[in-house]
Amino acid sequence: MITEDVTKQRQLEDHLRQQAARDPLTGLANYRRLAEVLDMEIKRSERTGREFALLLFDLAQVSGLSAPRGPASAENIKPGAAMKLIGGAGQRSY
């Protein structure tokens, strides 16, 4: 019998899945993850009869606000804005 520890392989797979679903700068879910979650929430809403809300922010516009300070300042603002949005989103944020 041959056995092999696959812990590192599983950790790498989990890491790659996270990278595929998240924006590297903000850590927020990307469009691909949005489509997956939105589909799940629509099905749940249809099944349970409960409503849900979706709120979208275009953080790309943040760079326009900070253009006089340069592109690096936008990169500093976006993660902070993302964390504030996550913190204020309530119990279920993706």
Q: How do residues 20-70 score in pLDDT, each as one tens digit?
A: 888 887 777 888 888 998 999 999 999 999 998 887 777 666 555 545 555
Given this model, what pLDDT does residue 78 score?
A: 66
Q: Residue 59 has what pLDDT?
A: 65
Residue 77: pLDDT band (50, 70, 90) is low
Domain ranges for the chain: 7-87
CA gap 89, 92 in Å, rounded: 7
In this prediction, residues 74-82 reach a mean pLDDT of: 65
Give the integer Cα–Cα distance in Å for 1 and 65: 62
Is residue 28 within 8 Å of residue 85, measured between CB atoms?
A: yes
The residues facing 22 across adjacent strands are 29
**SS3 of residue 10 by DSSP:** helix
Number of residues in the chain: 94
pTM of the model: 0.52
